[in-house]
Amino acid sequence: MKDKLRGIKNTLKRVLVKAVYNVEKHFVHDVVEMDESKAYQILEQSDPRTHGSCITNNQIEDTRKYNLRIVVPAYNVENYIEECIDSVLKQKTEYKYQIYIVDDGSTDNTLSLLSKYKDYSNVLVIHKDNGGVASARNEGLKIVDADYVMFLDSDDYLPDNAIQVLLENAYSNDADIVEGAQIRKLADKDIKIAATDYVRLAKGPTELLGMPWAKVFKSKILDNICFPEKLWYEDTVCRFIMFEKAKKILLINDVVYMYRVLDNSLSHGKSKSIKNIDTYWILEMLMEDRSKLCLPFNDELLLMLERQIIINQTRIDCLDDNIQKSIFVLTGALLKKYYTDDKVLRSNCKALQLIVSGDYGGYKSYCKMKKYFI
């Protein structure tokens, strides 16, 4: 009953927000008088761009020792790491898997707790200096000798039968990616999130939830690909690069991942940190990498860009207005680099149309409304 009432409340809220926007959009037009050079200068002074790439030289072995490699980045998770690793070791499955744990310079008791697993032949613990979650995941991708790869954050855990269900579906369908449902564990309730109600092939990569967990990836998908380092929002690479390399994506409704929502999570709550500018830097980087990888710049990408750009605006909404205007200007330049204005204006992407038209006020108003629908 509570869930039903919550659903009705959310629906009414969306109707109200849309109604307010339909009135507001006639009065909020604002043109930004700023060129690209000035916009770059403002961003660079606040949060200098990290000049990196998601393109790398990792090694996918031809001879595979395992069916699955589970990459677990770990940093200061002494309260959760044992539950995480034990949830994998107790899996009942016919498939052979390796747990590849990367301790990312923990300063608490994490590394000591991991020593209890040293006698497991299928558990490998690597210790490295702190470099962030992207750096830790990339350590687990340098040399891969498994058919499939899974990413498991060290404060999360797997439900029973997750490996068996994912790999059984992966092998029987020769799928490049299999995504299952996840349970988001909040302080007072659990919420199931799934892309489908039944087993089916995805119509395209946009149907996948935009994060690396609750999935298995065929290792060839990750060939010469890494997570962008030293940037926030490194998971953006999933939607813009990794998913795009998949030819066959399978969606299942089985719960395969338990996601613990913690108060100190980067994505939890609204941050005022200047590092939120990274949400633009990483998009610019990934668009360049798409071009280098010869991935298509098509109508489907426009839809992805619209969603991502609305998310970007939500992330920077608390920052100085000059920073927001700079990102607006540079996003417009980015769109024009890869698409003609006519192509964008003929699309069904209202946010993108407002950007190429230079309507900053209309764009902000539209994003404020659409964030309730993403």
Decide if 347 is inside a domain: yes
Do 316 and 172 lie in one domain? The reply is no
The answer to whether 21 touches 369, Cβ cutoff 8 Å, is yes
Last residue of a domain, one of 231, 260, 289: 260
In the block, residue with structure tokens 């009942």: 92
In degrees, rounded to 5, the angle at the alpha carbon of residue 276 between the alpha carbons of residues 347 and 101 is: 105
| The pLDDT of residue 13 | 47
Mean pLDDT of 93-101: 98
| The pLDDT of residue 265 | 46
Do 211 and 245 lie in one domain? The reply is yes
Decide if 161 is inside a domain: yes
- pTM above threshold 0.75: yes
Do 244 and 319 lie in one domain? The reply is no
Do 156 and 285 lie in one domain? The reply is no
Q: Can you read off the two tokens belonging to residue 5?
A: 């009432």
User: In angstroms, rounded to a whole number, what is the distance separating the alpha carbons of residues 153 and 307?
Assistant: 25
Last residue of a domain, one of 199, 234, 260: 260
User: In angstroms, rounded to a whole number, what is the distance separating the alpha carbons of residues 82 and 158?
Assistant: 12
Do 45 and 69 lie in one domain? The reply is no
Do 102 and 243 lie in one domain? The reply is yes
**Hey, how many other C-beta atoms are within 10 angstroms of the C-beta on 101?**
27
If one counts the domains in the chain, the total is 2
Last residue of a domain, one of 214, 232, 260: 260
Do 102 and 249 lie in one domain? The reply is yes
- Segment 125-141, tens digit of pLDDT: 999 999 999 999 999 99
| The pLDDT of residue 33 | 86
Do 83 and 229 lie in one domain? The reply is yes
Arithmetic mean of pLDDT over the chain: 91
Do 202 and 349 lie in one domain? The reply is no
Strand partners, 151: 71
Residue 71 burial by Cβ neighbours in a 10 Å radius (0-12, 13-18, 19+): buried
- Segment 204-242, tens digit of pLDDT: 999 999 999 999 999 999 999 999 999 999 999 999 999
The answer to whether 91 touches 164, Cβ cutoff 8 Å, is yes
Decide if 265 is inside a domain: no
Decide if 266 is inside a domain: no
User: In angstroms, rounded to a whole number, what is the distance separating the alpha carbons of residues 158 and 87?
Assistant: 5
The answer to whether 374 touches 303, Cβ cutoff 8 Å, is no
Do 125 and 35 lie in one domain? The reply is no
- Segment 138-194, tens digit of pLDDT: 999 999 999 999 999 999 999 999 999 999 999 999 999 999 999 999 988 999 999
Do 196 and 302 lie in one domain? The reply is no
| The pLDDT of residue 22 | 54
Do 206 and 351 lie in one domain? The reply is no
Strands 146-151 and 143-144: unpaired
Q: Which CATH number belongs to the domain containing residue 212 in this structure?
A: 3.90.550.10
Domain span holding position 332: 10-50+271-370
